[in-house]
Structure 1
Amino acid sequence: MKIALVGYGKMGKIIDEIAQNRGHEVVARLKETPTKESLNNADVVIEFSNPEAAFENIKVCLENNIPVICGTTGWLDKKPEIEKITLDNNSAFLYGSNFSLGVNLFFALNENLAKLMNNVNEYSCQLEEIHHIHKLDAPSGTAISIAEGIIENSKYEAWKLDETKDNELGIFAIRENEVPGTHSVFYRSEVDEIEIKHTAFNRNGFALGAVIASEWIVDKKGIFSMKDVLGL
């Protein structure tokens, strides 16, 4: 495939290497908002930029009918508009708060555990996420996805950063050194604790998942997630 990388920071460079190792051609490495010309007839765009730039980056690509794999978090208030643009242009869009294959399996495990715990009133739930000090958004997009998976399958009605009340689900966001990403879900009672946890050792898992998603989305139309890619 011909892949355009929009947002060329640490993640973009790792994606670049993995994509080439898997036999793809990287035809654009862009740090600025793309144009039709700068996208160089790419088959797919992988977008890892920042919350301020993401919407415009994605919009330009979809309007040129190029499928977009987006891993930028912190802009999701505009996601419904992007989904409309996708459908209006008969294109394809896949957003992932985290493209790691392990994290997406963790999402499924988290939802199943939430269903199991829903009728056991002795336990309360909390989330904790640890990321590197350079991460711009808190809580992370991954933590929000985990929280949404619990809310959809339990008594909790909303998530909240730090301290909570009533049916709010607490997320504790910690920023520490160069940690790639650690996410934990705790169910605590007066007598014991159940914990599920995912620990990333480096960014390579995120990058590999993004490339696998880009391979999957070619020739498809519509709005997708990593659940579609993995058949979850």
Structure 2
Amino acid sequence: MKIALLGYGKMGQAIEAIALERGHEIVLKIDQFSTEIPITQADVAIDFSIPDKAYDHISLCLENNIPVVSGTTGWLQDYSKAVALCNEKKGAFMYASNYSVGVNVFFELNAFLAKMMNNLTQYNVSMEEIHHTQKLDAPSGTAITLAEGIIANTSKKAWTLDSPNQDEIPIDAKRIEHVPGTHSITYDSDVDFIKIEHVAHSRQGFALGAVIAAEWILGKQGVFSMKDVLNLG
């Protein structure tokens, strides 16, 4: 499989190493967006770039009938446009806030726990996420996905980085050197607390998941998520 890496930072480099180990070929490595990207050299593209370039990368791929897997966060104001373009071009597009297999299992666990806790009003829910200091967005896309999982299954209406109202989930977003990603959800009451947590040891899990997603999407048509790849639905 010939892969275009749209974004060649630390994640792009980790993806490259795993893709090569799995027998694939990297035909493009793009540090910044250019309309001169020869995207048709690739069978599939993996986008881990920056928020203000993600939609440009995705649309370039879809316009040229190249399946694209995106893990860039902070651009979701344009997500519906990407979905519409994918459907118009009958292309293949996948976005995930996190491609780690373990994190995607954690997403499902989080939603299941939220359903269980919905009527237990003595518990207050909160979230903490920790990432390395180079991460550009806060809260992380993973934290937002977790918050959305809680909102969909409880009376909570929104998340906040500030002091929460009763219907908001407080998120404490921390940035600490050399932390690949830690996310925890806590339900606290006067007598006890329940906590679930996912801790990434390195970027390898994220990178492997992105390559698995690129392998999976090749030859398909539609808009997908990691739930489709991992059959978690």
- Category of TM-score, reference length = shorter chain: over 0.9
**2:187 equivalent in structure 1:** 187
Q: Structure 2: how far apart are the matches of 1:37 and 1:191?
A: 58
Look up the equivalent residue of 2:84 and give its one-letter code: K
Question: What SS class does the counterpart of residue 185 from structure 1 fall into?
Answer: strand
Q: Structure 1: how far apart are the matches of 2:95 and 2:125?
A: 26
**1:163 equivalent in structure 2:** 163
CA contact (8 A) 1:69 1:214 kept: yes
CA RMSD of aligned residues (A): 1.1
Question: What SS class does the counterpart of residue 41 from structure 2 fall into?
Answer: coil
Amino-acid identity (%): 56
Look up the equivalent residue of 2:224 and give its one-letter code: F
Q: Structure 2: how far apart are the matches of 1:37 and 1:227?
A: 30
**2:84 equivalent in structure 1:** 84
Matches within 5 A, 1:121-132: 121-132=121-132
- Deviation (angstroms), 1:147: 0.2
Q: Does 1:201 align with 2:201?
A: yes
Matches within 5 A, 1:60-139: 60-139=60-139
CA contact (8 A) 1:15 1:207 kept: yes
Q: Structure 2: how far apart are the matches of 1:73 and 1:162?
A: 21
CA contact (8 A) 1:139 1:173 kept: yes
CA contact (8 A) 1:34 1:61 kept: no
- Structure 1 length-normalised TM: 0.97
Q: Structure 1: how far apart are the matches of 2:37 and 2:18?
A: 25
Q: Structure 2: how far apart are the matches of 1:90 and 1:71?
A: 21
Q: Structure 2: how far apart are the matches of 1:92 and 1:169?
A: 34
Bigger mean CA offset, 26-35 vs 192-201: 26-35
Q: Structure 2: how far apart are the matches of 1:176 and 1:5?
A: 27
Q: Structure 2: how far apart are the matches of 1:34 and 1:93?
A: 20
- Deviation (angstroms), 1:36: 6.9
Structure 1's unaligned 5+ residue stretches are none
Question: What SS class does the counterpart of residue 13 from structure 1 fall into?
Answer: helix
Question: What SS class does the counterpart of residue 5 from structure 1 fall into?
Answer: strand
CA contact (8 A) 1:51 1:74 kept: yes
Q: Structure 1: how far apart are the matches of 2:34 and 2:92?
A: 17
What whole-Å deviation, never above 9, does each CA across 1:19-71 have from its counterpart, x for those lacking one?
01001111111113255762252111000000111111111111101011000
Q: Does 1:147 align with 2:144?
A: no
Q: Structure 1: how far apart are the matches of 2:180 and 2:77?
A: 25
Structure 2's unaligned 5+ residue stretches are none
- Deviation (angstroms), 1:195: 0.2
Question: What SS class does the counterpart of residue 27 from structure 1 fall into?
Answer: strand
**2:52 equivalent in structure 1:** 52
Instruction: State the aligned residue count.
Output: 232
Bigger mean CA offset, 205-214 vs 162-171: 162-171
